[in-house]
Structure 1
Amino acid sequence: MAPYTRSEAKAWARAHMIKSTNAVPTPFKADFSLDLPTLSAHVDRWANEGLYGLMTGGNTAEAWNMTPDEWWQYSETVAKANQGRMMLTSVILDPSPFTVIEKAHRLAELGFHLIEVINPVIQLRSDTDLYGFYKYLSDHSPLGIVLYNTPTAGVVLNHGLLNRLADLEMVVGIKNGLLNPADTIALRKHTGDRMVVTEPMESFYLWDSIVHGGQCLFGTCEYVMFGKQRDTLVKCMELANAGKFDEALPLYRQLDPIRDLMNDIFVWNIVRKNQYSLAPIKYWFELLGMPMGPCRPPLEPYADEAMKKTVREGLLKHGVIDSVPAAAAA
């Protein structure tokens, strides 16, 4: 069950939505079935490597492409492998508030700490209806709710509505996934006293933390994906949190080439097309020694050879890896 009462939910989130929470891909077998043993091994590895929070169930995880039974098997596997070591947040992509609440209760039993709920993808468009959706969730959820504001859902929550939603008892935060830091800054000024407003662009974190009050990277994947450069990322974030801009900036610059690679193969597709190009990300994880297998249909199952070469050479050149695992060499 949740480690907080309803009245404590906002304060708990303020204290615990910190550091890095990573949204990671899901391993599948060659026949496109879930590879649960590999998933369990990955969760154990991420916890042992010091990842603070794990985000499951979102677009990067291909959770939209799982059956209900698979979704539960996946969630249970994560919780069992975690053994309470990482803060667990589950993204819920369902448009029905009744399904969201059903899942939230089960996730609470499994030991998840938060749910992140995408803005409704069908039917609801007016502010009145959208408010009603989240009001129902707040009234019935056993877990704190993080809003997931993203244009991939087809509707973006406006600041007036978000200001009202921030007053709801169980709305504790937002991942403002518009890839527009200016919007996040403005939103935090209006609502940051009532919910944790997070900006998922790691490239902006240095300024966000020091100048604008950002306190975490939530629902990104740099901690895992930066591999042997992870310590540089962690140190940069720690210095940013301490307000030491001059010391943090050289480390920030050191990570620029890795950011550029991630942007080229993944982020800009989200910006331009509102689509997740996951095959290159899965190959990136393979190069880190984390088997991921294919993406599920109708997505392209694997990155093409030119993309693999770009990713492989980039990770070697910029010190993310120092060798290529045999299984990912081609």
Structure 2
Amino acid sequence: MQSLIGTGVALVTPFKEDFSIDTEALKSIVNFSVDGGIEYLVILGTTAENATLTQQEKELVIDTVIESNNGRLPLVLGVGGNDTMKIVAELKTRDFSPFVAILSVSPFYNKPTQEGIYQHFKMVAEASPIPVILYNVPGRTASNMLPATVLRLANDFKNIVAIKEAAGDMVQAMQLIRNKPEGFLVISGDDMIALPMVLAGGAGVISVIGQGFPKEFSEMIRLGLNRKVDAAYKIQYVIDDCIDMIFEQGNPAGIKQVFQSLGIAENFVRLPLVSVDESLRERINQFVKKIDK
């Protein structure tokens, strides 16, 4: 899965003022990411606000990204949830030919045991016609997929090829990197520690901020992969402040404000999310102006 090494971005779903999907802005975001040097695109991840999209809207997002990407970059599709059989049904019926892998989040709300998580992904792996990237994000799921469970899945199922690890725990990430089977990729799901994870042996990142600053962020990760540590950290220390800012009042409100500051898309989010306040808006605006100089 060499196509998953480097920087992927979890695309936002831009909205118009009436909260309908802004397909033209989505095309612009795809082009901005591609032109900026991103290695692959992730459709319908958490950042896409897919929890508040209808099925028809999800299909519109998928079609728009496929069309605007036009085969330039590998595509990953988010297919996850907390109803195992519903996910299996989608895996058995959808055309996955445009995608290199699916990204599947650990079940949320139900709070399964580690055995429940294993059995869930066992069914996902057996049903999926393409490779599976596990997604561990305890801050959203209320359960941590422990390294032992991840490694058990990675060893038992050849088509489970990677994990997006977003626990924000470097010790846990290092346990995965140290003990993973050959060829299994540990991908950061946390922008702030993406570079340290890469330097520890990780494969890259599925990023939020990377779509707002694709040139800078993807270059930082490439430098890290090439062990050019000082040059990589020079970029990290420029971007750090904005990483904090885009998550300060929730994702994707922060990154959508970056896009508004760049003149690419508006900063509308759907309830129960709300847009960033005036203070944060101004701070993000000032950061974007500084980077653009």
Per the alignment, residue 54 of structure 2 pairs with 67
Residues of 1 paired with 2:258 and 2:21: CA distance? 19
1:122 and 1:206 map into 2 onto residues whose CA distance is 30
C-alpha distance in structure 1 between counterparts of 2:244 and 2:57, whole Å: 30
1:239 maps to 223
Alignment of 1:71-150 (within 5 A): 71-104=58-91, 108-109=95-96, 111-123=98-110, 125-150=112-137
Aligned residue number for residue 42 of structure 1: 29
Aligned to 1:76, the other structure's residue is in SS state helix
Report the counterpart of residue 200 of structure 1 in structure 2: 189
Distance 1:255 1:149, change over 3 A: closer
1:155 aligned residue (139, 143, 148)? 143
Ranges of 4+ aligned residues in structure 1 off by more than 6 Å: none
Does the CA-based 8 Å contact 2:26-2:64 persist in structure 1? yes
Rounded to whole Å, the distance in 2 between the matches of 1:153 and 1:18 is 25
Unaligned runs of at least 5 residues, structure 1: 1-12, 270-275, 323-330
- The correspondence of residues 207-222 of structure 1 with structure 2, limited to 5 A, is 207-210=196-199, 212-217=200-205, 219-222=206-209
Using a 3 Å threshold, how does the CA distance of structure 1 residues 202 and 170 change in structure 2: closer, same or farther? same
Equivalent residue letter for 1:118? V
Deviates most, 159-168 or 253-262: 253-262
Matches within 5 A, 1:274-313: 276-300=250-274, 302-313=275-286
Aligned letter for 1:215? A
Matching residue's letter, 2:161: V
- Identity level (%): 23
Q: 1:315 aligns with which of 277, 288, 293?
A: 288
Letter in 2 for 1:264: M
- Residue 106 of structure 2 aligns to which amino acid in structure 1? N
Structure showing greater radius of gyration is 1
* AA matched with 2:74: M
Q: Within 2, Cα distance between the matches of 1:178 and 1:193?
A: 22
**Alpha carbon RMSD of aligned pairs, Å?**
2.3
Tell me the residue number matched to 2:158.
169
Q: 1:251 and 1:244 mapped to 2: Cα distance?
A: 6
3-state SS of the aligned residue for 2:283? helix
Structure 1 residue 106: deviation in Å? Answer: 5.8
Q: CA separation of 1:96/1:173 partners in 2, compared to 1, >3 Å: closer, same or farther?
A: same
CA–CA distance in structure 1, aligned partners of residues 211 and 128 of structure 2: 30
Q: C-alpha distance in 2, partners of 1:307/1:56?
A: 27
CA distance in 1, matches of 2:286, 2:162: 38
Structure 1 residues 99 and 40: CA distance shift in structure 2, 3 A: farther
Q: Would the aligned equivalents of 1:121 and 1:153 in 2 still touch at CA under 8 Å?
A: yes
- SS of the equivalent of 1:137 reads helix
- How many angstroms apart in 1 are the aligned matches of 2:39 and 2:152? 30
Q: State the match for 1:272 in structure 2.
A: none
| Cα offset, 1:251, TM superposition | 4.8
Paired positions, count:
291
Deviation sequence 1:16-71 (CA, Å, 0-9, x none): 21121011221111111112232233323432333211112122110111112211
> CA separation of 1:108/1:179 partners in 2, compared to 1, >3 Å: closer, same or farther?
farther
Note if contact 1:146-1:175 (Cα within 8 Å) is conserved in structure 2.
yes
CA contact (8 A) 1:208 1:214 kept: yes
Deviation at 1:250, TM superposition (A): 4.3
Match of 2:175? Answer: 186
Cα gap change, 1:244 to 1:100, in 2 (>3 Å): same
SS at match of 1:295: coil
Q: What is the CA-CA distance between 1:118 and the residue it aligns to?
A: 0.7
1:150-193 C-alpha deviation (Å, 9 max, x unpaired): 11112111222222111212211001100112210111212242
Partner of 1:10 in structure 2?
none
Provide, for residues 99-131 of structure 1, a one-character-per-residue CA deviation record: whole Å limited to 9, x for no partner.
323434565445011111111114461233222
Question: Does the CA contact (< 8 Å) of 1:56 and 1:89 recur in 2?
Answer: yes
Following the alignment from structure 1 to structure 2, what is the Cα–Cα distance between the partners of residues 124 and 255? Answer: 35
**C-alpha contact 1:209 1:241 (8 A) present in aligned 2:** yes
d(CA) in 1 for partners of 2:75, 2:128: 16
Supply the distance in 2 between the matched residues of 1:107 and 1:75 (Cα, whole angstroms). 12
